[in-house]
Amino acid sequence: MHFDSKSQKSQERASFLVIGGFLGAGKTTALLRLAQRYHELGKRVGLITNDQAAHLVDTGTLRVRGFRVEEVAGACFCCKFDELAQCAERLREEERPHVLLGEPVGSCTDLAATVVAPMRTMYGDRYDVAPYSVLVDPARARQIVLEKGFGGFSSKVAYIFLKQLEEADVLCLNKVDTLTPQLRADLMGALAAEFPKAKVVGTSGLTGEGFEEWRKLLDVGGPAGRNIADVDYDVYAEGEAELGWLNAAWEVRSERSFDADALVHDVVARTSSRIRALGHEVAHLKAMLESPSGTAVANFVGAGSTPHLSQPTRAAVSGGLLTLNARVHMDPTMLRSLADAEVAPVLTAHRAVGHATDALYFRPGRPVPTHRFTKE
Ligand SMILES: Nc1nc2c(ncn2[C@@H]2O[C@H](COP(=O)(O)OP(=O)(O)OP(=O)(O)O)[C@@H](O)[C@H]2O)c(=O)[nH]1
Ligand SMILES: [Mg+2]
Q: What is the CATH number of the domain that holds 344?
A: 3.30.70
Q: Is the CB of 178 under 6 A from ligand 1?
A: yes
- Whether 324 is in a domain gets the answer yes
Domain shared by 148 and 232, yes or no: yes
What is the structure's pLDDT at 206?
A: 97
> Rounded to the nearest whole angstrom, what is the distance from the C-alpha of residue 210 to the centroid of ligand 2?
19
Q: Is the CB of 50 under 6 A from ligand 1?
A: no
Last residue of a domain, one of 239, 263, 286: 239
Domain shared by 61 and 207, yes or no: yes
- Whether 110 is in a domain gets the answer yes
The DSSP bridge partners found for residue 170 are: 133, 199
Q: Is the CB of 206 under 6 A from ligand 1?
A: yes
Q: Is the CB of 247 under 6 A from ligand 1?
A: no
Taking the C-alpha atoms of residue 220 and residue 289, their distance in angstroms, rounded to an integer, is 39
What is the structure's pLDDT at 376?
A: 55
Domain shared by 172 and 318, yes or no: no
Say what the pTM is: 0.96
Domain shared by 218 and 273, yes or no: no
Domain shared by 202 and 249, yes or no: no
Q: Which ligand is nearest to the CA of 69?
A: 2
- Whether 374 is in a domain gets the answer no
Domain shared by 172 and 60, yes or no: yes
Q: Is the CB of 265 under 6 A from ligand 1?
A: no
- Whether 316 is in a domain gets the answer yes
In one letter, which amino acid is 78?
Answer: C
19, 28, 173, 240: which to mutate for ligand 1, most atoms within 8 A of CB? 28
Domain shared by 344 and 304, yes or no: yes
> Rounded to the nearest whole angstrom, what is the distance from the C-alpha of residue 211 to the centroid of ligand 1?
15
How many domains would you assign to the chain? Answer: 2
- Whether 2 is in a domain gets the answer no
Domain shared by 88 and 208, yes or no: yes
Domain shared by 136 and 255, yes or no: no
The DSSP bridge partners found for residue 99 are: 15, 45
> Rounded to the nearest whole angstrom, what is the distance from the C-alpha of residue 222 to the centroid of ligand 2?
26
What is the span of the domain harbouring residue 260? 243-362
Last residue of a domain, one of 239, 267, 300: 239
What is the structure's pLDDT at 303?
A: 86
31, 134, 246, 299: which to mutate for ligand 1, most atoms within 8 A of CB? 299
Collapsing DSSP to helix, strand or coil, 238 comes out as helix
Do residues 172 and 214 make contact, with C-beta atoms less than 8 angstroms apart? yes
Domain shared by 166 and 48, yes or no: yes
> Rounded to the nearest whole angstrom, what is the distance from the C-alpha of residue 67 to the centroid of ligand 1?
18
Q: Is the CB of 60 under 6 A from ligand 1?
A: no
> Rounded to the nearest whole angstrom, what is the distance from the C-alpha of residue 320 to the centroid of ligand 1?
23
Q: What is the pLDDT along the chain (376 residues), one digit of tens a residue?
A: 333 344 444 557 999 999 999 999 999 999 999 999 999 999 999 999 999 888 889 999 999 999 999 999 999 999 999 999 999 999 999 999 999 999 999 999 999 999 999 999 999 999 999 999 999 999 999 999 999 999 999 999 999 999 999 999 999 999 999 999 999 999 999 999 999 999 999 999 999 999 999 999 999 999 999 999 999 999 999 999 999 999 999 999 999 999 999 999 999 999 999 999 999 999 999 999 999 999 999 999 998 899 999 999 999 999 999 999 999 999 999 999 999 999 999 999 999 999 999 899 999 999 999 999 987 5
Q: Tell the burial category of 289 from Cβ atoms under 10 Å away from its Cβ (0-12, 13-18, 19+).
A: buried
> Rounded to the nearest whole angstrom, what is the distance from the C-alpha of residue 24 to the centroid of ligand 1?
5
- Pairing between strand 133-136 and 14-21? parallel
User: Where do runs of H (alpha helix) occur along the chain?
Assistant: 6-11, 27-40, 57-63, 81-95, 111, 117-122, 138-141, 155-166, 181-194, 211-220, 233-241, 260-277, 332-349
Last residue of a domain, one of 239, 273, 308: 239
Q: Is the CB of 26 under 6 A from ligand 1?
A: yes
Domain shared by 307 and 219, yes or no: no
What is the structure's pLDDT at 55?
A: 84
What is the structure's pLDDT at 358?
A: 86
Max Cα distance, the chain (Å) = 62
What is the structure's pLDDT at 2?
A: 35
Question: What CATH number is given to the structural domain containing 228?
Answer: 3.40.50.300
Domain shared by 218 and 169, yes or no: yes
Per-residue burial over 253-277, b = 16 or more CB atoms within 10 Å of its CB, e = otherwise: ebeeebbbbbbbbbbbbbbbeebee
> Rounded to the nearest whole angstrom, what is the distance from the C-alpha of residue 58 to the centroid of ligand 2?
5
